[in-house]
A and B are shown apart, each in its own frame.
Chain A
Amino acid sequence: MGYSLDFGWLYEASGAIARGAAVTVMLIVVTTLAGTFISVLAAAGRRSGYRWLRLAITAYVEVVRNTPFLVQLFFIFFGLPSLGIRLDPILAAILAMTLNMAAYTTEIVGAGLDAVPAGQKEAALSLGLRPRQVFVKIVLPQALKVIFPALTSQIVIMMLESAVVSQIAVRELTYEADMLQARTFRAFETYFVVTMVYLGLSIALRRMLVSVGRRTLSAGVT
C-alpha cells in the first residue's frame, strides 16, 4: 500500500504517445490494404480449377490461423535471416501482420463470394462481360457488402494485435509505452493511459470503417 498514482509525466510524454499512435495507425492502414488485396486473390484462387493452388492456399490459411501471431512475427524477423532474407523491423512487422490478416480475411472474403447467387454471374456473362469483369464488377462488390461487418471486426482485432510488434523494436504505441515506463518508473499509469489510447483508436477505427462501408458499399453495418 501507500502507492499514489502520478500522472505528472503525461504532459511531456504526449508527443511520444502521439508518435507511437501514428505508427500504429500507419501499420494497420498498410496491413488492411495489402491484406484485403491478397485475401481477394487467395479467396478467388481457392475457388479456381488449379488443384495445387487450392491446396497451397488452404495450407497457408490453416498454418497461420492455428499458430500465434507472435510466433509468426519471430519466425519472420529472427528465422528468415538464416535463409538470407533480412528484413527491417518495420518491414517484418508489416509482412507478418499482412500475412496474418490475409489468412483470416481469405476465409471471410471466400464466405462472401459463396454468398453471391450464381445467377448474378450467369446474368453478367450472358450480357457479354468477360469473366474478369464479372468478378471485379459484379461478384466482388456484392461479396464485400455481405462481409463488411466481419472485415471490420478483423481489422480492429489486427490493430489490437499489432501491440506485440513492439517486441521486435518497431516504434509503435506499445514500444513508446515501454520506453516511457522505463524512464518515468510509472509502469501502471503509463500502460493505463496507453490502454485507453488503444480503446479510443479501436472505437474510432470501427466508427470510421462503418461510415466508409455505408457510403461506398451501402453496407448495413451497425
Chain B
Amino acid sequence: MIEFTFWDILRNLLFATRWTILLSIAAFVGGGAVGIVILFLRISKAKWLRRFASGYIALFQGTPLLMQLFLMFFGLPMLGFRIEPWTAAVLALTFFASAYLAEIWRSGVDALPRGQWDAGASLGLHYVQELRLIILPQAFSITRAPIVGFLVQLIKSTALTSIIGFEELLRTSNAINNATFEPFTVYGLVALIFFVLCYPLTQYARMLESRAAAH
C-alpha cells in the first residue's frame, strides 16, 4: 500500500497538467491552420464551396465533442491506421477547433464594411492580395477577444480526452482518486488547476473586449 500525501497528489497532478497544456496548444495551432482553410472556403465566391464550409461548421457545432472523439478513436483504425489516444485527441480537437475558429473569423470578415473590398480592388489588388493585405488582418484583429474566449473553451474541452484514454490531467486524477479515495481533494485540485489555467485568459479576453468596445 502506497501512502499518498497531499503533496504527492498535487505533484502528480501538476506533472499531468503539461499534457493538458500541450494538447491545448497542439489543437489550437492545428485548429488555426485548418480553420484558415475552412475560412477561405466559407467566404469563397463559389457557392458549393461556401455550402461545404457551412456544412462542416454546422456538423462540428451541432454534435457533441465526445462523439467526435469516439468517431476519431474508433473510425481511424478502420481505415488501417493504428491510433493512439494522443493522435485521436489531437485530430478530433483540431477539427473541432477549426470549425469554431473559422466561424469566429468569418464573423470578423462579415463585420468589415464592403468599402474595404472595393478600396482594395480599386488599388488593383487581386483577390488573394486583398484578403492577405486588407481583409484578414482586420478580421483577425477585431476577433481577438472571441478567439481567446474560445481558447478557454478548448482548454476545458481537453478534459474529455480522458474518456478515450489520453493521460491528461483528469485521467491522472481518476487514477489517483482510485488509489487514495479522496475524491473531494483530488477533483477540487483538478478544478483549481484548470481555473488557474483559464481564469487569466478569461480576464484577458474581457480586457480585449472592453478595449474594442471603447474604440
Contact = CB atoms under 8 A, between A and B. Distances in A.
Interface of A: 1, 3, 62-63, 65-72, 74-75, 78-83, 156, 160-164, 166-167, 174, 177, 181, 187-188, 191-192, 194-195, 198-199, 202-203
A187 to B, nearest CB: 4
Contacts of B170: 68, 70-71, 74
**4 closest residue pairs by CB, A with B:** A68-B159, A163-B64, A78-B183, A187-B74
Interface string B179-191: 0001110111011
B187 A74 contact: yes
Contacts of B163: 70, 164, 167
A192 B71 contact: yes
Contacts of B59: 199
Interface in B43-101: 59, 62-68, 70-71, 74-75, 78-80
Contacts of A164: 64, 66, 160, 163
A72 B71 contact: no
B199 A198 contact: no
Contacts of A162: 64
Interface residues on B, range: 35 or more
B173 to A, nearest CB: 8
Given A166-B66, A191-B67, 20 more contacts: A62-B202, A65-B198, A67-B198, A68-B160, A69-B156, A70-B162, A74-B170, A74-B183, A75-B184, A79-B184, A82-B184, A187-B70, A188-B71, A191-B70, A192-B71, A195-B63, A195-B64, A195-B67, A198-B64, A198-B67
Interface of B: 59, 62-68, 70-71, 74-75, 78-80, 152, 156-160, 162-163, 170, 174, 177, 182-184, 186-188, 190-191, 194-195, 198-199, 202
A161 B195 CA distance: 19
Q: Is the interface of B mostly helix, strand, loop or mixed?
A: helix
Contact of A203 (B62, B152, B159): B62
Which of B160, B187, B194, B199 has the most chain A CB atoms closer than 10 A to its own CB?
Answer: B187
Contacts, number: 115
11 contacts: A62-B199, A68-B157, A71-B187, A74-B187, A79-B183, A160-B64, A163-B66, A164-B64, A177-B70, A199-B63, A202-B63
Contacts of B194: 66-68, 71
A181 B70 CA distance: 11
Contacts of A71: 159, 170, 187, 190-191, 194
Contacts of B199: 62, 66
A76 to B, nearest CB: 9
A79 B67 contact: no
Contacts of A83: 184
A75 B64 contact: no
